[in-house]
Amino acid sequence: MKPGIQGVPSAAGGTLQGKHAFVTGGGRGIGSAIAHALLLQGARVTLAGRTAAVLEQTARELASALTAGPSSETGGCAIDFVTVDVTSRESVNAALAEAARRHGPIAILVNNAGQAASAPFAKTGDDIWRQMMAVNLDGTYHCIQAALPGMLAAGWGRIVNIASTAGMTGYAYVSAYCAAKHGVIGLTRSLALELATKGITVNAVCPGYTETDIVKDAVANIVAKTGRSEEQARAELAAGNPQKQLVQPDQVANAVAWLCQPGASAMTGQSLAVAGGEIM
């Protein structure tokens, strides 16, 4: 783990002032947007992911964005980063322990790291199945197990699992991904009940097709297999959204940031679809 950009300006009196947030998959897309939203609320944020160079660049960009903002006041906000493989319990334990050593106990855990792979079920081999489970479900499990003792000791915590509308309904040709995300929602509901009297909330945020690298890969796959243009492929993905558009990362981040607020303490065990009305 390398030190990130310390002491960047935060929103004066932010509702998450002094809280340490750990965001997996924080180097780009939804994860980066979530980190930005939490920083604006005064949290200290550790970005976690597989590639140090990507994380460092994102940390610097977020710090620059905040220092360029209208507020010149400096609060207890900081941004840092750590490399982690969420499929490895040992890697997760080491990363969260180091992050806590640097910035204090983790009060907010956002399990955003994820991967998607598409294939007809008959061609979904053990390699695809295990990879989808390892990253999307096992990774969430490992991170919660590592962060939960500190939250229990503090009597306060927010766990937000980034699932997907694929965890709420079915989509063809992504059976392994759907199964893993359904598992994330099941874990969310079960753990929310266990922790309901402990001051810790557990929720899932379920984006529809969102403007991320995963969707870029999906568009490329559609183009390669069907001969459609990139514009046609994007329109096809957006067609299931009643608003006829792809979800933007900051729209997902805003939902996450709200669930982390002290005022959202009655929200637990919920799966919030951020999908323009696709899931009701």
Which amino acids are annotated catalytic? 177
* 8 Å CB contact between 45 and 5: no
Q: What is Dmax (Cα atoms) for the chain?
A: 57
Structure tokens at 109: 């855990």
Structure tokens at 253: 């981040």
Of residues 207, 115, 116, the one with CA closest to residue 160: 207
* 8 Å CB contact between 38 and 79: no
Give the ranges where 22-118 is alpha helix by DSSP (H): 29-40, 52-67, 89-103
Alpha-carbon gap, residue 153 to 155, rounded angstroms? 6
Alpha-carbon gap, residue 208 to 186, rounded angstroms? 18
* 8 Å CB contact between 213 and 31: no
